[in-house]
Amino acid sequence: MSHLDIEALLDRAEDYVALSRQVEKKAATLRGRTQINLFFEPSTRTQASFELAGKRLGADVMNMSVASSSVKKGETLIDTAATLNAMRPDIIVVRHHAAGAVNLLARKVGCSVVNAGDGAHEHPTQALLDALTIRRNKGRIQGLTVAICGDILHSRVARSNIILLNALGAKVRLIAPTTLLPVGIERMGVEIFTDMNKGLEGADIVMMLRLQLERMHGAFVPSPKEYFRYYGLDHEKLERAQADALVMHPGPMNRGVEISSAVADGAQSLIREQVEMGVAVRMAVLDALAQHLPNA
Ligand code: CP
């Protein structure tokens, strides 16, 4: 996508912010269409917002509960995809623990597929909602310094944000201990800092990430107390950033591990607004897909 395509999608999302703030929140864009949300990993924000987004656009939305599905009896991803495809959905929204699984599934079905997060690879709609939140609060993204801090190694949010923010002209910094930085990440056009105080210097946006303990599998696991000391965001460290710096976190948060409650709930935090923008951005993405559905 070009930066113009991305800006157009964000503009469309703005329309859906306005619609979602009205008493009557419904549009007819996906009336008669079927959307299946297929989440192989836990989710609060992404699954709920895709469900609300589909419903607000008039689709019939089905949430597949993987925990009580035949996946638990050993059915493969491809057989699950073929089974759902036989029910003739128009859109399948997928989250999976394996990088590349969403792409694989998309090649096995005859409908549109949306990536709701695949392993440590990508989470594109998260990056779009983050961009919308930044643009609404700063008026632009071009030229801003965005510091992404924390467990970069396991973060699909970081990867998608690096790609999108670079495309929109931001300067992206990564702040993490070397053990939580992927080898070769500097090739993605980012500046690397292992000292959080230096990395925060002059930042316009501070984006904190969760320590993804569930993906560490016996590898180096930092103690939460020590991690917070060096890489947790509190007001003292935040003072290194610009005076009007804004704080983001994709959620779920581990309070007292990567961020203090005082910062998470403070005046500079955009964390609740990010959640609201998640519904609007997902409406815009589903709307864009609707233009390409058969018989649209
Ligand atoms: N940000 C995010 O993907 O949150 P969930 O895991 O709750 O969907």
pLDDT the model gives residue 134: 98
Tens digit of each residue's pLDDT (9 = 90 or more) over 149-172: 999 999 999 999 999 999 999 999
Taking residues 73-85, report their average pLDDT.
92
User: Is this complex's ipTM strictly greater than 0.95?
Assistant: yes
**Farthest-apart Cα atoms in the chain, separation:** 57
Q: The tokens of 283 are what?
A: 């409406």
Q: The tokens of 223 are what?
A: 């103690």
Active site residue 145: no
**34 close to 60: Cβ distance less than 8 angstroms:** yes
Tell me the average pLDDT of the chain: 95
pLDDT the model gives residue 218: 62
How many angstroms separate the CA atoms of 279 and 215, rounded? Answer: 27
> Cα dist. 92→106, 113, 118 in Å?
9, 5, 14
pLDDT the model gives residue 70: 85
pLDDT the model gives residue 239: 98
Nearest CA to 188 out of 252, 119, 127, 125 is that of 127
Of ligand 1's listed atoms, the one at least distance from the Cα of 48 is 8
Calculate how far, in angstroms, residue 77's C-alpha sits from the geometric centre of ligand 1.
21
Proportion of the chain in helix, strand, coil states, percent, rounded to 5: 45, 15, 40
Hey, whose CA ends up nearest to atom 3 of ligand 1?
46
Tens digit of each residue's pLDDT (9 = 90 or more) over 254-295: 999 999 999 999 999 999 999 999 999 999 999 999 988 887
Taking residues 127-135, report their average pLDDT.
98
How many angstroms separate the CA atoms of 266 and 116, rounded? Answer: 28
Active site residue 235: no
**293 close to 21: Cβ distance less than 8 angstroms:** no
How close are the terminal C-alpha atoms of the chain, in Å? 22
Flag whether 108 is marked binding. no
- Cβ–ligand 1 distance for 253 under 6 Å, the answer no
Active site residue 45: yes
Q: Which amino acid is at 52?
A: L
- Cβ–ligand 1 distance for 250 under 6 Å, the answer yes
Catalytic member of 45, 121, 138, 171: 45
pLDDT the model gives residue 219: 62
Q: Which of 41, 43, 209, 212 to mutate to test the pocket of ligand 1 (most atoms within 8 A of CB)?
A: 43
Flag whether 292 is marked binding. no
Taking residues 62-81, report their average pLDDT.
88
Share of the chain above pLDDT 70, in %: 99
Active site residue 12: no
- Cβ–ligand 1 distance for 232 under 6 Å, the answer no
Tens digit of each residue's pLDDT (9 = 90 or more) over 84-110: 999 999 999 999 999 999 999 999 999
Active site residue 72: no
Q: The tokens of 117 are what?
A: 């997060």
- Cβ–ligand 1 distance for 278 under 6 Å, the answer no
Calculate how far, in angstroms, residue 35's C-alpha sits from the geometric centre of ligand 1.
19
Q: How many CB atoms lie within 10 A of CB 214?
A: 11
